[in-house]
Structure 1
C-alpha cells in the first residue's frame, strides 16, 4: 500500500520582533561605531538597542560578523535610497539633494570610513559597494545631463562631501544636534553645486571613487599635481 504523502513543514518565518531587534542592533552598532569606534563594547550596543546581550549574540555571534553586517546594511540602504530618489523626485538635482540628506540620516559617510580597514572586502561586500556606487553615479550623471549640476563636480566630490557632513562634531551636546546641524549646513552647501550659480572652475583635484577607496596622502598629492599641470 502506498504511503500517504506527508505534508512538508513550512519554513519558519523570522518573527517580527526578531526583525525589529536585528534592525535595532544594527542601528545602535552604527551609532556607537561613529561615537566610539569599531571596538565599542558589545554590551553597550545591546543596551542602546534595548536588547539583552544574549539576543545580540544570537543575531551576531561575534564582533566581526556584526561589523560586516553594519557595512553591508549601510551600503544596501544607500543604494536603495539613491535609486528611490531618482525615480520619485521631479528632477535630478532634487533627487541628488534628497539622497545627500538621506545619507546624513544613514550616516554612511561616517560608518564606512570607520570599517574599511577592519573588514575584508569579500564578494558580497564588493558587490554591495559596486551597486551603491552605481546608484550614486546615476544620480550625478542625471543631474549633469539635465544641466543642473555644475560640470566640474564629480560623483566622488559628492561622496566626499557626504563624508564631511556626517562626521561627528565635537562641540555639540548630542548626536541629534549633530544631525540637525549637518542637514542645515548641507542646505547651505547645495547652492554651490548648482551649475547656474557657478562663475569659475573649482580649484584643486577632482575626486574619484577610487581615490576615496584608497584615501590617503599619496593619491591626493598625485591628483593635486595632475590638476596643477592641467591648469598651466
Structure 2
C-alpha cells in the first residue's frame, strides 16, 4: 500500500498495476509542481508519468485531488525520514542534521507555494500523518537539546521556517540552481543551531503551534 492510497474497511485493494500507475502519476506531478507550480497542465503530468489522460482522471478526478495526493506523499516520505533518523542511534545532533538534509530533498518550500486556500488541511489522512511527523521531528529536537548538542533557545518551528525558506526557489531560478546551494546553506544554518551557542537570539523559540496560529494552518510539516 502506498502513502497516497489508504486502505479502508470494505474497499477492495487496488490491483498492482493500478497502484503503480498512481505512484507514477504522483511522482510526475510532484516533480512538475516543484518545477512549474501546481497550475501545470494535467496533460503534462500524464505525459511525464507515461499514462493516458483517462488513467490520470480515473485516479484523480480533479487538480485538488492530485495536489492532496502529492502533499500527502511528501509528508509521508518526510515522516519516514524523521523516524529513520530517530532509529539511527549515535549523536542526536548528527541525527537531526541528517533528517534536516533529507527533509530538504522533499522540497517542502517549493511545494508549499502550490497549496491554495481550498486545500483541505484537516483531511484525516493528512492530519494523522502530520501528527506522526510532528512527534518524530519534535523528539529529534528534544533529544539533541537534552544531550546538550543543540542550543536551548530554538524550537522546531525555527527549523521549519528555515527549511521552508531555503527550499523555495529564488525568483527566476529552477530546481537545478536550488540544488547547488540548499545543502551548503543548510550546513551553515545548522552550525548556528548547535550548542554551545555563539550568540544571543532575539525573541523566543518558535513552536509549530506558533507557526500555525500565524499562518492560518498553512504550515503543516517540517
Against the structure 1 CA distance between its residues 215 and 20, is the aligned structure 2 distance closer, same or farther, given a 3 Å change threshold? farther
- 1:209–1:19 CA distance, 2 compared to 1 (3 A): same
Higher relative contact order (CA 8 A, sep 6+): 2
Of residues 80-89 and 31-40 in structure 1, the stretch that sits farther from structure 2 once superposed is: 31-40
Structure with max Cα Rg: 1
How many matched pairs? 204
Tell me the equivalent position of 1:220: none
Aligned 1:97-116 pairs, distance under 5 A: 97-112=97-112, 114-115=114-115
Shift of 1:216: 4.5
Gaps of 5+ in 2: 1-11, 217-222
1:103 Cα deviation from its structure 2 partner: 1.0
Rounded Cα–Cα distance in structure 2 between residues aligned with 1:117 and 1:214: 16
Correspondence 1:153 to 2:158: no
CA contact (8 A) 2:37 2:113 kept: no
CA distance change for structure 1 residues 55 and 89 in 2, over 3 Å: closer, same or farther?
farther
User: Cα distance, 1:13 vs. partner?
Assistant: 6.2
State the distance in 1 between where 2:187 and 2:117 align.
31
Q: Which residue of 2 aligns with 1:225?
A: none
Give the equivalent residue in structure 2 for 1:124.
125
Cα offsets for 1:74-107 (capped at 9, x unmatched) = 2111111101011114221111111111111111
| Aligned Cα root-mean-square deviation (Å) | 2.3
- CA 1:118–1:40: 2 relative to 1, 3 Å: farther
Aligned counterparts of 1:184 and 1:50: Cα–Cα separation in 2? 34
Question: 1:209 corresponds to which residue?
Answer: 208
Distance 1:49 1:21 in 2: 8
Alignment of 1:1-232 (within 5 A): 14-15=15-16, 17-112=17-112, 114-115=114-115, 117-120=117-120, 121-172=122-173, 174-196=174-196, 198-216=197-215
Deviations 1:88-135 (A, max 9, x none): 142211111111111111112332453263322122222222111111
Q: TM-score, normalised by structure 1?
A: 0.78
What SS does the aligned partner of 1:161 have? helix
Does the CA-based 8 Å contact 1:155-1:208 persist in structure 2?
A: yes
Distance 2:78 2:31 in 1: 16
Is contact 1:152–1:202 with CA below 8 Å preserved after alignment?
A: yes
